[in-house]
Each structure stands twice: as structure tokens, then as C-alpha cells.
């Protein structure tokens, strides 16, 4: 089967069909993307995928609309937008196509659906207030993508279509960046798990480079870990471990006497030759060598105890 046309509605656009187009244009690069409400285009055919228009949801006929009554719902009763429907049907293939490792496809498909697709679905259906999706509603992804629409007094007959096509690569960058970040976290997890095992009962976790580590700490139930060290360019860093992504509170802060100090002043306060910097917030410090950062970490642990 060769898909020749990807069809969504004409006129103003929303995040759901724009993000659906990101997935579909990647999987069917030879297909022409058309924005139309004309019956001849929104009628199913073997060489078309129709989405966010057409008044039906039927995977066999390759039509993915959510505006009809009754509208398609997830297993938990939450509504789909066209993006959710496209992701459910084509998301795994899309992940494979952008080189997500086969063993991670299912987990990343679920994670991306929960954290990226579902909020788009809910916002598009009016099932979530923008203020809930983000403290500043103007910074939600649908709002940002919506800002790329033409202004009200742009009278060009192709204004909406032109804006849609300009917005498409921007939307693609958001989708691919988010997925690649999820994939990177999966790659990091095994590295961090190995480092935790190597550290044993030590409260100091040493990593070979900066990487996401908090989820691996939770998975390994490494509650005894207080600080993380790793190289950063020519220097080494000492980091506190946040209690969650929703707070700046840490398992342990760096010593209060180090706050805001640099170079000689920090060396004097810490007693460590090679200490270079400590943030005033006491969540990161920098030293010139591994030996120095390890010593700083040991002093920080003693300060907590």
C-alpha cells in the first residue's frame, strides 16, 4: 500500500493536527500533505490518511477524527485528539523510524504518550485548563504553536497553509527532541545503575559524565546517596540530589560556609586545594581535579552528619 495523500482540515490549525503531521510526514515522506474540507479529499481511500477531519475514527479506512459524537476515548475514559489517535496507531513505527532502540520502543511510546500526547489531547478537547498544563498558560506547547498562526488581518488566501507549513518543522523539533531525551534517559539508566553498584554503601555517586540519574537512584532504591560527582570539561562537579523534579529541595545541601565562594576563599573554607566554585544555592560545586572534588564530597558528607 502506498500512501499518496495526508489530509487534514484547512483553515486555522491546532497543535493536534500539526503534531500528527510531524509523525505522518516522517513515515510517509513521499505523500502530499493537503489541507482541505472538500468531500473528495475527506472521503476515505486506500492511498489516503485523513486526520482531524472527516467525522469518523476507523483505522482500517485510515481516518482519524475525534470531533464526532460519540468521540473516541482512551481506556480510562479520557478523550483523544487526532494526535492521540495517530500516536496510538503509528507511534511505535515512528519511534523505530527515528532509531529508538527496539528494546526501548514500548516504554518510550508509553512515556511519550503520558507526558506529551495526553496533555495535547486534553487541552484540545477542553478537558484540561491551560493553567493546569503549565503555570504560565502562554508557555504551553499548543499556545506556542498557536502563536505561529497568521495574524487576523493577513488577507493572503494561502496565509493559513503557509503558516502551517512553516510551523511544521518547528513542531517536529519539539517532538524529536522530547523523544531523544527520553531515549537518552534510558541509555543513562544502565550506566547509573552500574555506578550505584560500584559505589556500594558510599553516599557519593561517581558518574563518567553528566547524565540523568535521579530515576535510576529511585529504581535502585539508593536512598543512602547524598551527592553526585562527575567530570565537566577540564573540571569536576559536585552536585546535590533533588528530592523530585518539582522542587529545589535536596537530600543534602553543600556546606553553608561554602555558599557563593570561589577560588582561594573556597579553598580556605573547605580546606581543599583545587576548590574553585560553590553556588550560593549550595546545589553545585566545582573543583579542578577528581581528587579535589572527592575530598570536597567527603567534607560535604561529614557536614551533613
Task: Spell out the domain ranges in the chain.
Answer: 5-184, 200-304
d(CA 78, CA 123): 11
Per-residue model confidence (pLDDT) at position 133: 59
Q: Are 257 and 302 in contact (CB under 8 A)?
A: no
257-303 per-position pLDDT tens digit: 999 999 999 999 999 999 999 999 999 999 999 999 999 999 999 99
120-157 per-position pLDDT tens digit: 999 999 888 766 655 444 447 888 888 899 988 999 99
Q: Which of 31, 23, 28 is nearest to 52 (CA)?
A: 23
Average confidence score pLDDT of the chain: 93
148-182 per-position pLDDT tens digit: 999 889 999 999 999 999 999 999 999 999 999 99
- Cα torsion 150, 167, 119, 90: sign: positive
Going from the C-alpha of 38 to that of each of 7, 42, 61, 65, 175, the distances in angstroms are: 10, 6, 18, 15, 29
* Beta bridge mates, 49: 6
d(CA 253, CA 270): 14
What global pTM score does this model have?
Answer: 0.82
Q: Is 99 left (phi over 0), alpha (psi -120 to 50) or beta?
A: left
Peptide bond preceding 252 in cis form (omega within 30 of 0): no
Amino acid at each position: 500500500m502506498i500512501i499518496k495523500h495526508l489530509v487534514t482540515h484547512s483553515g486555522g490549525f491546532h497543535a493536534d493536527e500539526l503534531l500528527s503531521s510531524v509523525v505522518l510526514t516522517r513515515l510517509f515522506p513521499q505523500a502530499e500533505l493537503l489541507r482541505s474540507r472538500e468531500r473528495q479529499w475527506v472521503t476515505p481511500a486506500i492511498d489516503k490518511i485523513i486526520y482531524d477531519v472527516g467525522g469518523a475514527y476507523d483505522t482500517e479506512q485510515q481516518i482519524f477524527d475525534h470531533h464526532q459524537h460519540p468521540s473516541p476515548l482512551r481506556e480510562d475514559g479520557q478523550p483523544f485528539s487526532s494526535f492521540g489517535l495517530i500516536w496510538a496507531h503509528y507511534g511505535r513505527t515512528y519511534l523505530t523510524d527515528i532509531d529508538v532502540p527496539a528494546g526501548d520502543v514500548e516504554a518510550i511510546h508509553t512515556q511519550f504518550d503520558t507526558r506529551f500526547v495526553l496533555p495535547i489531547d486534553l487541552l484540545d478537547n477542553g478537558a484540561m485548563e491551560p493553567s493546569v498544563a503549565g503555570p504560565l498558560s502562554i508557555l504551553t506547547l499548543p499556545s506556542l504553536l498557536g502563536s505561529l498562526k497568521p495574524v487576523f488581518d493577513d488577507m493572503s488566501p494561502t496565509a493559513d497553509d503557509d503558516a502551517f507549513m512553516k510551523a511544521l518543522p518547528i513542531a517536529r523539533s519539539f517532538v524529536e527532541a522530547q523523544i531523544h531525551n527520553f531515549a537518552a534517559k534510558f541509555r543513562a539508566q544502565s550506566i547509573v545503575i552500574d555506578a550505584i553498584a560500584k559505589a556500594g554503601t558510599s553516599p557519593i555517586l561517581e558518574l563518567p559524565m553528566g547524565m540523568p540519574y535521579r530515576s535510576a537512584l529511585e529504581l535502585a532504591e539508593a536512598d543512602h546517596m547524598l551527592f553526585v560527582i562527575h567530570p565537566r570539561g577540564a573540571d569536576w562537579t559536585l552536585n546535590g540530589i533533588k528530592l523530585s523534579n518539582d522542587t529545589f529541595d535536596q537530600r543534602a545541601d553543600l556546606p553553608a560556609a561554602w555558599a557563593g565562594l570561589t577560588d582561594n576563599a573556597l579553598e580556605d573554607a573547605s580546606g581543599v586545594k583545587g576548590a574553585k566554585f560553590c553556588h550560593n544555592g549550595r546545589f553545585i560545586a566545582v573543583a579542578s581535579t577528581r581528587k579535589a572534588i572527592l575530598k570536597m564530597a567527603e567534607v560535604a558528607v561529614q557536614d551533613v552528619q
